[in-house]
Amino acid sequence: MHTIHTNHFWLLLDDAVKVANGNDLVKEIFLSAVLEKHSLEEIKNFEIVFRQCVFDADDYKVMAAQKIITNYVSDDSYLYFRCWLIGQGQEVYAETLKNPDYLANIVHKGDMCSWEGLMYVATDAYSSKTGKEEDETFPRNIASKMGLDYDLGPPPTKGTDWTQEQLPALLPKLWMKFN
């Protein structure tokens, strides 16, 4: 049994970033095509690592960065923002988790910063490889059974909640760039 370790997950994402030139749809197609060549176990592991990254990025400061950049936060938009963040590759992701103000270096006004499609990459690859419709054996369902369900019962958001008035002091570089 082979597994996609976290390093392999990031290598795949970093390759997608290089190939796609900022186009998330190209990243999606690339990742699904590459994953389809992996074993079913590896495709499941991609989903598991992806979901763990979504949980790891669930931090009030990351949410504050989204609020400043997009001027809006909801459950869905925050999930898609974290997917987008993962989709920027390992360096951007890691630096942002250390200090979300880092995003001031890479995000520009008008950037979408939302990538729902990353949530379906493993499912699409698994479906293409097996020829099956989604059932309980699919990556999403395996990950959910392991407690990695971002819809039902995710762990609490890390850090300290903030108010709108605290944003300029919390993330000053982002605040200056977007306000």
Can you give the pLDDT at residue 1? Answer: 37
Q: Name the nearest CA neighbour of 88 among 75, 73, 103.
A: 103
Dihedral sign computed on CA atoms, order 43, 10, 72, 165:
positive
d(CA 164, CA 104): 18
Environment class of 158 (CB within 10 Å of its CB; exposed 0-12, middle 13-18, buried 19+): middle
* Structure tokens belonging to residue 172: 């000053």
Give 10-residue mean pLDDT values along the chain (179 residues).
Answer: 72 96 94 96 95 96 97 95 97 97 96 95 95 91 90 89 97 97
What pLDDT, on a 0 to 100 scale, did the predictor assign at position 169? 97
Residue 37's pLDDT is what? 96
Instruction: Name the region of 159 (left: φ>0; alpha: ψ -120 to 50; beta: rest).
Output: left
147, 76 Cβ separation under 8 angstroms:
no
At 130 the three-state DSSP class reads: helix
* CA angle (100 as vertex; 96, 102 as ends), nearest 5: 75
pLDDT the model gives residue 102: 98
The Cα 99–Cα 172 span in angstroms is 11
